[in-house]
Amino acid sequence: MKLPRNLDSTRIHSSDKSVSGYNLAMPHSYEEVQQFARALPEAQRIRLANSLWESTQDETGDAEIAAAWEPEIARRVEQIKAGTAVTCSLAEIETDLRAITGQ
């Protein structure tokens, strides 16, 4: 797919020195950004998706959530070690998921 000239990521404008001395040509609408991103090779799309996802995560919040889960994880591990945990097989989980999703 041939990208429109305004989506050519190799064009650099030196008139705006605000970002490391350069301002990359940037599409302005969501649709243009999406079109550009979809035209990237798969590996770059995956890197972009991961980068965007990580940019939405609050590191402080993640640490707090992880800390809050620690006692629950420890409790569940102890139940498994003691043989008191209620477990189920992968086959049971798959059956339940099929029933829920109708597949």
Tens of pLDDT, residue by residue over 42-51, are 999 999 998 9
| Contacts by residues 38-47 (CB-CB < 8 Å, ≥ 24 positions apart) | 39/1, 39/3, 39/7
Please tell me the predicted confidence (pLDDT) of residue 9: 43
Residue 12 predicted with pLDDT over 50: no
Residue type at position 56: T
Please tell me the predicted confidence (pLDDT) of residue 64: 81
Q: Residue 54: CA atoms inside 13 Å, Cβ hemisphere, count?
A: 6
Give the span between the Cα atoms of 18 and 8, in whole angstroms: 20
